[in-house]
Chain A
C-alpha cells in the first residue's frame, strides 16, 4: 500500500469539478433520537445525503435513547421520519443499503452498561461495515445532558480516536444562556474533545442564501465600494416568525427571543454582512474576520432607549384566531419572557462608524421572513423640487434569506407623465428554483461538512462567547427593569420598538 504525504489520488484532479466530495468511511451516533430535531432534520438529511450518493459505502447510524427498542424499531422510526420529511424521492434500494447500517442502543445518559454496549456496537460496525473507527457523536439533546454524555464517552474510551481515525462531536444551539454558561459548556466539551473536533451547528450558516452573502459582496465590483458609512445610513436585520412557541414552552419560557435568535443567527448574519474581506474562504480566515467584527461591536450607553422587547397577546394572525403567550400551554402566567426583541448595535471601526445596526426578531409577527436590509443615505443633492421627490425614500438593498430567496434593490425612478415626479421602484432578483427546490437543505450541507471535517460553516467558541458578551448587558438590563410590552399577535411588534428606531429619526421596513 502506498502511504505518506507524497500520495496523491490519481483519480482526483482539481479541474474535475463534477466529482462531488464523498465522506470517507464513517458512522454517526445520534443521541436524542425521539426529539423533533432528529426526526425532522437530522434523519431526513442523512437519507437525502445517501440518496445523492454523498455518504460513504457502509455508513452506519447508531441511535441511543432510553427506549426499549430493537434495531428494527429504530429503523422503523427513521423510516417514518424519512418518509415524512425527506426532500428527495424515497427509493427502496437507497433505504435498504442505509438501513443495514442502523443499530440501536437502549440506555440513559448515566448508564455505564449501555455505554459499554455502545462501544461494542461501534467496534462491531468498524468490523462488519468498515466504518474505520471514524464516528461523529450528534448530541440532539438538551445541553444540560452534554456533560453526562461526553463524560461517559471519555470514560468508555469512545472519544479517543485510534491513530489515523477521528471522533467528532456535534452540538446544536442553545450554546449556553449567557457568557458564563457558554464558557462552562465549552469547557465541558473541550475537556473531552479538542476544539477542532467540536462542531456547533447554526443551521442558518448552512443556507445557500447566507453563503451567497459572501459571494455577492466579494465576487462583485459594484457593491463593495458603497458598503460603508459614506453611503450606508443604517442596516436592519430581521427574522420574523408567524408561528407562536408551538409546544416548546418548556424550552422557550425563560429563554426568550434574544437568546433564541439574536445571540446566534442574527449576530452571525451581521458578522457576514459587515466583516472585512477574508484572505481566503478557509475556516480560519473566516473565523478571524467574523471575530474581528464581533469584537468591534458595541452597545449604546442608554439601553432603555435603544432596545425594545415585547410579548405577544391574543389576536388574529393571518386570519386565524390565536392565543397570547401567557395563555399558551406550559407557560407561567407571570412569565416575563420576551417573544419579541429589538436591539441597536454600533460597530467601532472605520467602515461602519456612525452606522447603527438594528436587529429584531419575534414570534407571531405579520409574516414569516428573514432579511437583511442595507438602507442608504439620501443623495447629497437633489436637483428637483421638493414636491417632485416627496415620494422618494432611501435607496435600499435587501437580501432576502427566506422565504422567496433573492435580492431587491429599491431606488427612485420617474413617474410616467409630463411632470417630473420621482417615486420608489423595486428591482427584484429571485433565485427562481435554483436555491430553493433543487438545492440541499442546510442540514445536509452541515452534516456532510462534519463527516468531511470541513469547518468553515460552524461558529467557533470564541464567536459564541463574544456574542454572549455583546448580548449579556441587554439581558441584565431587561431582567432588572420592567416587563415586555404586549403586542397584538399578527402585527409587527410592540410600539416601543417603533419608538426606539423613531428616536434615531428612522422607521422599520415592513418586510
Chain B
C-alpha cells in the first residue's frame, strides 16, 4: 500500500501503473471497475468483502469515502495491488468541496472500455441512477437491509426510483429461496391458489419475495411476521395440498409438498462476499427484478 496525501486522480492513476510494474505483472486481466461508496467506519469491512468477491471477478476496486463537505478540498489515497487481491485497489478519502464533485476523481480512474459497478454498502442515495457517482455505473448495487434510517421503507424507496441497472442485495439474498420454489413447481406442476411469506417484521427480502411470487403466480401472497432470523417460512397453497419451506434457524430448512415425504434441505443465509459476487456476475439489466420492483410498488400503493 502506498499512501498518497493531498493528491489527485492523475497521481492515483500513475501509482496504479507504478505498482503494477513493481509487482512485475503489467497485465492484470481485470474485467471491471467496482466503485464502493462508503463511510469511514464501514470502509474496512466493505473493502474486505470486495477483496473476496474480486477472486471471482478480477476488478479495479475504488473505495470512495465521502468526508465533510465543508472547508478546503483535499484528496488522500491508499493505492495497492497484490496482498490477496486479484486486481488493483485504491481507497480514496475526500474532504471539503471536492466531496460534491467525487465523480471528477473517479471518472479518470475507470478502466477503459469495461463495465463499472457502483456499490453502496449502507445508506444509498434515494435515486441511485441520478446520483453523480451512480451515473458512472452500468450496475448500481444498493442494500435496503443495511439502511440505517427509515429502515422499513428503504426497499420501497429503491423500488420507486428503479432504473435499468439498479439492483438491491435484498433481492440477491432470496435467490436460493426462489431457486427452491421454482424447483418445487418443476417437480410437481401444481396450480397455486395462494400463499404466504413469513419473516421478521422488517425484511426487505421478504417484501420482494411476496412481490415476486404474486407477480409470477398472479395470486394473493400474504406477508406474515415472525421472530426471524430473516425469512422463516414460505407457503404455497394448492388444491392437492400446500408446498411449505420452513427455516427456523437460518441454516437448515424443511421442505414439504403434497404426497411426498418431508425432506431437510440446506438453505443457509449467505454472507456479503457471496452476494456481491453473484451481483457482479451479470451486469446487464435484471428484467425479473424490474418486474418485481414494479409489482412491489403496486402492492404498496394498493
Residues of A within 8 A of B (CB): 1-3, 7, 9-13, 15-20, 22, 24-25, 50-51, 53, 56-58, 91, 93-94, 96-97, 100, 127-130, 132, 406, 427-434, 437-439
Contact = CB atoms under 8 A, between A and B. Distances in A.
B231 to A, nearest CB: 15
A15 B29 contact: no
B86 A432 contact: yes
B27 A127 contact: no
B178 A434 contact: no
Contact of A96 (B31, B86, B252, B263): B252
B4 interface: no
Contact of A25 (B87, B187, B217, B277): B187
A407 to B, nearest CB: 10
12 contacts: A1-B191, A7-B189, A13-B288, A18-B286, A56-B183, A58-B263, A93-B266, A94-B266, A96-B264, A97-B266, A100-B264, A427-B27
Contacts of A439: 56
A428 B27 contact: yes
Contacts of B190: 1-2
A198 to B, nearest CB: 24
B288 A97 contact: no
A93 B268 contact: yes
Interface string B178-199: 1111110111111110000000
B264 A97 contact: yes
Contacts of A96: 252, 264
A97 B252 contact: yes
Contact of A93 (B186, B252, B278): B252
B125 interface: no
Contact of A429 (B27, B172, B240, B278): B27
Contacts of B287: 13, 15-16
B134 interface: no
B180 A91 contact: no
B184 to A, nearest CB: 8
A405 B267 CA distance: 32
A58 B178 contact: no
Contacts of B213: 11
Interface residues on B, range: 35 or more
A454 to B, nearest CB: 14
A275 B182 CA distance: 37
Contact of B251 (A13, A93, A100): A93
Given A18-B278, A53-B176, A130 B186 contact: no
Contacts of A94: 266, 268
Contacts of A132: 187
B175 interface: yes
A128 B264 CA distance: 12
Contact of B55 (A22, A93, A437): A437
Contacts of B182: 9, 11-12, 19, 22
Nearest to A11: B182
Contacts of B300: none
Contacts of A58: 255, 260-261, 263
A10 B55 CA distance: 35
A91 B265 CA distance: 13
B58 interface: yes
Contact of A406 (B29, B175, B218, B251): B29
Contact of A11 (B29, B185, B261, B278): B185
